[in-house]
A and B are shown apart, each in its own frame.
Chain A
Amino acid sequence: MLSKKAGSRILSLYWIIIFVLISIGIVSGTVLFYSNSLDIREIESRMLSDKIVKCIAEDGSLKQGIAESLAEDASNIEEICGLVLSDSSYDENQYYIHLKIEGRNIQKEIEYEKDGSGRFFALCSSNTRDYPVCYKEKLFLLEDNEIIYVEIDAVVSKIKQNYH
């Protein structure tokens, strides 16, 4: 080997190309990972259910008069429970609530969806990502020292943002 200078220059160019390729690879991987959307509808539907539980129950008992207020007009649920069931990124309603209260002395079924079609609930049995996400909570509470059963279905649609 009489002269290595030309060899070193060619190798330097190669190293730069490899460096650029690796950088592009790392950046692509990072962008690919963080640009992928996260479907949080399940958490959202659970939080909605929790809010309803907090709204109707206190110290293990059904709040006085709440079932009657909600049964009278289901649209009261937003005001009574402090819910904001609107999403500015959609024209249509994206939430549905179904509340069933059953006991010896009480039988109430409350359904709430702004446009009243009930279509979300019908799709609950479909378990794919391109359908609304449904969360069901079952619990028991006291009412006049009697155990009553409450079933809450909280549904979040938002398919457009989570469509794959």
Chain B
Amino acid sequence: MSTFTGLFGVDSPSPFITNPKQLPLILTDLLALKTNNTVPSLSATGGFFTSLALRGAAGAITVADTYATLCDLTGSGFLCNVVCPTHTTAHTTTIRVTVDGVPYTFTVASVTAAYRLLLGCFTNTASYNAADATGSDFTGPNSYKDRGFNAPTIGGVPVITSGSVTQPSIMTPEQVLSSQLPVLRFESGLKVEVKVSLLSATTIDKQCGVTYRLDL
């Protein structure tokens, strides 16, 4: 944990999260990320995970109820997001994040078919309609495309259902860091593993990914 002498001349705790259980966690049927200023990629396509891997790692589960290792890092850096696999029927999703040798496990049962577990920050919704006056910039809280408080929960995890042109969207690690959004800090190592209780026959359902940035 880093400390610094702040404005008041006292040591202050690190501004970064070290316990992944303090990161945002949602379930969503469709995630977006931008691959260009007005070009989105959705988690229903392989291109989403190919692009995500540019800022982390992508992988796939191959056996039901068996962990797939998305990344095993030695060193220091930041974890931004974990995008889990899904299944065509209700299932249980588990994430195991080992931070500096300490494992943390998240398990969500009765996940609705086609929904993915997302760990880490996200924008409320992203408008990627090129004709929109705001272009493809992500929107802030309580914007006109924000789902707001109507999101139900499964196992205590909020469920955000996508709209026709609006989805929860993840950002690049550099944007997350630049915007001072919640990230997980690791100092010696990070390992991210995911598993789903059932193995889908659909390739895209089995794909998953993680975004992170090692210290330069």
The answer to whether A and B come from one shared complex is no
Please list the residues of chain A having a beta carbon within 8 angstroms of any beta carbon in chain B.
none
Please list the residues of chain B having a beta carbon within 8 angstroms of any beta carbon in chain A.
none
